[in-house]
A and B are shown apart, each in its own frame.
Chain A
């Protein structure tokens, strides 16, 4: 990024790359933590209050980060972007999911696909906009990061506030014209609700937690290393510029996969969709080393584009999976708790890829083959994910909320107050 802006030399006061890496790690950690902690509040308080909070925290985090950059105090950025911004990410991520599920009872997968696709789509706007803004604000003495943070904070705040103002929750029992809900419960689609803290007591929650964690671990590891991996596996064929194009293409498939796979899950079922992720992912991960050995860039690129579409699809299908298992009422809060799997995968994935690559290279494996073992390990993780998904059965009746459950009354009172 800095080279892109024309900076070629560092100064003694520059922050180290490892120190800066903590900003993103903290943001992802607090995304998972805040969605788990505030999930029930988001569900009971309603999406408007949650989106307003997310907008204030997100913009506030950017402004604090701008001060941190301006005064050259790194811990202000840790707090601003990492902690406050991370909490905003968690609250903002889960707040539209249950709302959209309620608007589309006939197509819950498509609904969650749209919500989660929006989160991925933001990167398409933020990345080029940030570069453009820094180009506008840069001068001979500074790169304009603080000003960029301020402008981005204002733009985000405006868009998020508009979203918070126009968001609506449908009345209970709402259905689109002509839609008639199936009279009988399907085997893996419940018509009952499970209370958020009862859901974590079920084996289904933890099985789906592992399914998501393993699917994301496999995807996130290669996503972060895609550029370096493609250049090292095809030296001379994939240049740094082409590798950047490859990463861009991957992000498009990541976003498209979120909508397409989640929509497909409405037709073939959530469990079957994850079976496709695990089986197809296994085949593709095993094919990547072969693509490297025969020098087929097209096969390599094709494999990774499908893999990354399923990585995105895993994120977007999971809320609908939870809705099928635990009902609509607490799906946002349960989804929030499940996102701790993302935090965990965010640590596991890159560590596996980076550690194995370094281990192979120090043991004399050529760079072009250094990722082969990693691919087979990722394929192995998907086998475990397949087993976890296979073990998912309908939630036992004892966990279903009863009509006179006092916790349901509490929620209604809280919702009315909001």
Chain B
């Protein structure tokens, strides 16, 4: 039971790290592009 909980939390951390590794730079880039795209509506 304890082992299973440990595996679950380690999996969650890995998932957060993996998604963060990809997602954070991507979200930054998308926000930059969106800010640029808003000029179309000004």
Closest chain A residue, CB of each to CB of B42: A242
A121 in contact (CB, < 8 A): yes
B29→A124 contact, CB < 8 A: yes
B40→A124 contact, CB < 8 A: no
Segment at the B interface, from A245-253, A366-374, A404-412: A245-253
Residues of B1-42 at the interface with A, using a CB-CB cut-off of 8 Å, are 18, 21-22, 25-26, 28-30, 32-34, 36-42
Q: Which residues of B contact A248 (CB under 8 A)?
A: 33-34, 36-37, 40
B39→A125 contact, CB < 8 A: no
A301 in contact (CB, < 8 A): yes
Q: Which residues of A contact B25 (CB under 8 A)?
A: 125
Chain A interface, DSSP helix/strand/loop, else mixed: helix
A125→B29 contact, CB < 8 A: yes
Closest chain A residue, CB of each to CB of B38: A245
Residues of A3-34 at the interface with B, using a CB-CB cut-off of 8 Å, are none
| Interface residue tally for chain A (C-beta within 8 Å) | 24
Partner of A252, one of B18, B21, B28, B30: B30
A121→B36 contact, CB < 8 A: no
Q: Which residues of B contact A244 (CB under 8 A)?
A: 36, 39
A121→B29 contact, CB < 8 A: yes
Tell me whether A124 and B37 are in contact in the complex, defined as CB-CB below 8 angstroms, given that A162-B21, A166-B18, A242-B42 are known contacts: no
B33→A241 contact, CB < 8 A: no
Give 1 or 0 for each of A123-148: 1 = CB within 8 Å of chain B CB: 11111110000000000000000000
A245→B41 contact, CB < 8 A: yes
7 contacts between A and B (CB under 8 A): A124-B32, A126-B29, A127-B33, A241-B39, A241-B42, A242-B40, A245-B37
Known interface pairs A123-B29, A125-B29; 15 further A-B residue pairs with C-beta atoms within 8 A, sorted by A's residue number: A121-B29, A121-B30, A124-B30, A125-B25, A125-B26, A128-B32, A238-B40, A242-B39, A242-B42, A244-B36, A245-B37, A245-B39, A245-B42, A249-B40, A301-B40
